[in-house]
Amino acid sequence: MNSRVTKKMLTPFEASRPTGAVLMINLFDPQIATARLFLEAITSHQLPYVVIGNKMDLVDESEIARVEAELGVALKPVSLAGNDQTEELTQLIETLFPPNTRIVVLGVFNTGKTSLIAHLTGQPLKISNMPGTTLSFEEYRWDERVLIDSVGQLIDVSRPLMVGYDFSGLDTPDAMFDHAMRQEAEAILSSIDSARPGLIKAVAAIDERLKQGAKIVTTGAGASGLVAEEIAGQFFETGMMCLPVTNAFSQGLPISFAKGIAEEEGGLARLVAAHLTEKDVLIAVSASGGTGFVYEALRLAREKGAATVAITENRDTPMGVNADIVIRSNAKPEGPSSTRIQTTHLAIGHALVCILAAMRELGGEEAIGYMMPEHIATKKMGIK
């Protein structure tokens, strides 16, 4: 799989004509599987390189050692935001890459690629924790060298079906179906370790709130909105009051699903938060962690004192900042794939609901009762 995935970045990667590479790792959210693919691309092109572990101020030494061990290479820990070890880093890069080197800076979203270039060049570049701040390969002069900022993914967004599966080399529906199903299963399995700590914390926090009479609200946009609605439905099936509030506007769902309609609408965030009190729980779903009204709803809910839970692929994002608990999936090492993330987030939601039901010792007869129609006498048709 890796060789097929890595080839996807060759067009923009090779077009930049790099003669050296810097691989950035976010020590707070390292995403090792993706980092390995970047490393494979670098080594397959036989480029001299250095691996930088940014945001060392957010982790301890044991976490740095763990990242090094899992990645299989030594890294240089720094904190670009805290200006820690940055002068030593500058000297290291100057020594490793002689004048006239074209240095490509690689890494997933929010690793500090643009921050590094801003530090070296002194330019006031746009920097944020929002995934997708850099959307193209950009070149910057640094002394006699060229620094190349890059997109935080391996998939070439100009390729068809970049949100789904790579069917390269597969020419029959049978082979494609087999590949698609295995990709979905692999996404879930690869998320077990990353999601477990957050899910266990979320179960305990939600269970405690439910005992105090809390209700649950779920939210999300597009595909994540569908996940939020599914979770709400399953909560209701197990006797737990849950209200979904998303941007899925009835007949407009296909448009909001594909284009992200209303994701920047602050009023929608206020609508979500209006359903919550300090006793309640907000579960927010976002693959990127950067969906506007979703992370703003988390912030507003947190201000009210509600418990906030995020289900996401990236925790070092506005969503991660505003959640008490992050349940992080690991479904897309090679870049965007809404299909696998949606499947994985559904599986996480199913697990969360069913575990909470089991902790309440919900029996079969009681569960069936929550699913049965509740008939209420009403007027005859035509009577106004």
User: In CATH, what number does 181-362 get?
Assistant: 3.40.50.10490
**How far apart are the C-alpha atoms of 140 and 147, rounded to whole Å?**
5
Residue pointed to by tokens 């060392």: 56
Which pair of tokens denotes residue 130? Answer: 């929002």
- State the average pLDDT over residues 140-163: 69
List of residues 6+ apart from 369 with CB closer than 8 A: none
pLDDT given at position 132? 58
**How far apart are the C-alpha atoms of 208 and 282, rounded to whole Å?**
14
pLDDT band at 163 (very low <50, low <70, confident <90, very high): low
Which pair of tokens denotes residue 249? Answer: 């506007």
Which pair of tokens denotes residue 257? Answer: 């699903």
* Phi and psi based region of residue 55 (left: phi greater than 0; alpha: psi -120 to 50; beta: remaining): left
Hey, where are the domains in the chain?
2-149, 181-362
Structural contact between residues 49 and 105, judged by C-beta atoms closer than 8 angstroms: no
- State the average pLDDT over residues 333-356: 83
Burial of 45 (0-12, 13-18, 19+ CB in 10 A): middle
> Which contiguous run of DSSP H or E holds residue 345?
helix 338-359
Residue count (the chain): 384
- Residue 179: alpha-carbon gap to chain centroid: 23
The CATH class of the 2-149 domain is alpha beta
Q: What residues does 147 pair with on adjacent strands?
A: 103, 140
Residue 248 pLDDT more than 70? yes
pLDDT band at 203 (very low <50, low <70, confident <90, very high): very high
User: How far, in Å, are 97, 312, 320, 364 from residue 327 at the CA level?
Assistant: 39, 6, 9, 28
pLDDT given at position 263? 85
Which pair of tokens denotes residue 342? Answer: 């949606």
Rounded to the nearest 10°, the torsion over CA 335, 256, 253, 284 is 70
More confident residue, 314 or 15: 314
- State the average pLDDT over residues 228-251: 88
pLDDT band at 352 (very low <50, low <70, confident <90, very high): very high
**How far apart are the C-alpha atoms of 107 and 355, rounded to whole Å?**
36
290-305 burial: b if 16+ Cβ within 10 Å, else e: bbbbbbbbbbbbbeee
Domain 2-149 and domain 181-362, same fold? Reply is yes
Angle between helices 338-359 and 173-190 (to 10 degrees): 50
Which pair of tokens denotes residue 32? Answer: 């090792």
Rounded mean pLDDT of the chain? Answer: 85
- How many CB atoms are closer than 10 A to CB 177? 11
**Highest mean pLDDT out of 28-32, 40-44, 148-152, 224-228:** 224-228
**How far apart are the C-alpha atoms of 154 and 37, rounded to whole Å?**
8
pTM confidence score: 0.77
Residue 161 pLDDT more than 50? no
Structural contact between residues 135 and 151, judged by C-beta atoms closer than 8 angstroms: yes
Residue 325 pLDDT more than 70? yes
